[in-house]
């Protein structure tokens, strides 16, 4: 499963806002490794620097020094609408009748194609194939005297998931969709400045203190007069993505008032209670399953050990591997410790099984290292339905659990036993009411109607005369 995006915003006349945004994006790098970007303003001009690759690849001292001003927004991308290419990097800068704005977006707009065709008829000239540009142009084309009024109007047109940070010439604005699918929080710096971030861990890294989470349907505006907010859309229900707890967010973040570390501990504990097995050691697939594996070991009384080591410097690369490297597959990312595993009965805890491409390779690696038995335990229940709210997961026919039963999956991955945490166990571990979570990928119950054949590259299929400008 691929990550959703990470967004950040800061308003502070007393700080180097571009540099603080750079370090905040470092803390949010786990949410997207395809591209990174920062936009700043000094009240007159807006500057944007963005590129393909990790934060450390895109920025240096020279590029940061050109990003001057007192307001900044930043973005780490993993593509969920539109392909991975330089034109689709964010923040996205657009100009309309009210002026220029820069927008960074985490989520997915399921009616983006319809909105883009409508905006094209209004002479908006698109230069990307991302739904984020549709949002930006919709904001500039919406009626209203203020940005808050325009955003409020646009929110009644947008369908799907969107946490946004928006930069105008004199303000920073944070927006969260009425379902609250993707997280967004507000923080304060000692200097008096304000920040917005996808996760609270980004606040910790720059010395900001957590104030609160932005509510679903809320608009938060930060300018020279301070921070103001209002409820633009009253939510009919909440639908926070449950995979923020299972996989996406860092364990040192707090979302929905629940520390991620506690939730993942509870997942491991629940797995040990639901699927006990005689074993010699428990290992986790690093890094997202480590907390749950430690908790499984503690609950089961089986020793925890590091049986798989992760190459922490393996990021996404744009260099195609040759055939020999391709055949090694997951071995480049993980290396088993034969000295620990040989002759042992091993419990392996992982966060999820999606397509079923990685798990069989991991189990094969463990057996090659001498593991006598391999018992797979998974924090997420079987994933049977695709996500259309900001996660590039898979089409339904690609999802392993949509095509195979649990016994068939066990045979396919080559495990001696397989246990998925139950849906009830997961909800209990997260510690939030079932009705406040989006569980669509597990249950098929989407918070709003979707087309199951939706394609992340749908906007790329439009011919130039329907909106792709130069």
Residues involved in catalysis:
5
The answer to whether the CB of 314 falls within 8 A of the CB of 377 is: no
């Amino acid at each position: 499963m691929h990550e959703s995006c990470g967004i950040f915003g800061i308003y502070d006349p007393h700080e180097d806002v571009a540099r603080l945004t750079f370090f905040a994006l470092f803390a949010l790098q786990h949410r997207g490794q395809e591209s990174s970007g920062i936009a700043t303003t000094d009240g007159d001009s807006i500057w944007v620097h963005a590129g393909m690759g990790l934060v450390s690849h895109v920025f240096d001292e020279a590029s940061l020094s050109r990003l001057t001003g007192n307001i900044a927004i930043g973005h780490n991308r993993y593509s969920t609408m539109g392909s991975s290419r330089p034109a689709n990097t964010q923040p996205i800068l657009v100009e309309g009748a009210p002026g220029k704005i820069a927008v960074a977006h985490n989520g997915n707009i399921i009616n983006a194609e319809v909105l883009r065709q409508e905006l094209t008829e209004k002479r908006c000239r698109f230069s990307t194939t991302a739904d984020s540009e549709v949002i930006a142009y919709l904001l500039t084309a919406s009626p209203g005297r203020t940005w808050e009024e325009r955003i409020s109007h646009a929110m009644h047109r947008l369908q799907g998931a969107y946490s946004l940070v928006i930069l105008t010439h004199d303000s920073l604005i944070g927006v969260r969709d009425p379902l609250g699918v993707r997280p967004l929080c507000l923080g304060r710096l000692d200097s008096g400045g304000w920040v917005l971030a996808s996760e609270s861990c980004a606040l910790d890294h720059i010395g900001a203190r957590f104030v609160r989470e932005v509510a679903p349907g809320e608009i938060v505006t930060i300018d020279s007069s301070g921070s103001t907010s209002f409820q633009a859309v009253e939510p009919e229900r909440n639908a926070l993505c449950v995979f923020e707890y299972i996989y996406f967010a860092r364990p040192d973040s707090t979302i929905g008032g629940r520390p991620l570390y506690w939730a993942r501990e509870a997942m491991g504990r629940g797995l040990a209670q639901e699927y006990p097995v005689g074993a010699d050691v428990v290992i986790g697939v690093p890094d997202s399953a480590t907390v749950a594996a430690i908790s499984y070991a503690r609950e089961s009384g089986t020793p925890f050990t590091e049986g798989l080591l992760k190459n922490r410097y393996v990021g996404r690369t744009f260099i195609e591997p040759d055939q020999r490297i391709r055949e090694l597959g997951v071995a480049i990312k993980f290396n088993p410790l034969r000295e620990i595993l040989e002759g042992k009965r091993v419990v392996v805890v992982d966060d999820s099984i999606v397509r079923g491409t990685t798990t069989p390779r991991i189990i094969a690696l463990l057996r090659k290292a001498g593991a006598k038995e391999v018992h797979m335990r998974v924090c997420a229940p079987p994933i049977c339905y695709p996500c259309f709210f900001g996660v590039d997961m898979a089409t339904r026919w690609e999802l392993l659990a949509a095509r195979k039963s649990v016994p068939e999956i066990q045979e396919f991955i080559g495990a001696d036993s397989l246990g998925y945490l139950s849906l009830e166990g997961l909800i209990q571990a997260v510690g939030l009411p079932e009705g406040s979570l989006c569980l669509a990928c597990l249950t098929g119950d989407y918070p709003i109607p979707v087309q199951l054949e939706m394609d992340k590259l749908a906007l790329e299929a439009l011919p130039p005369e329907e909106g792709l400008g130069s």
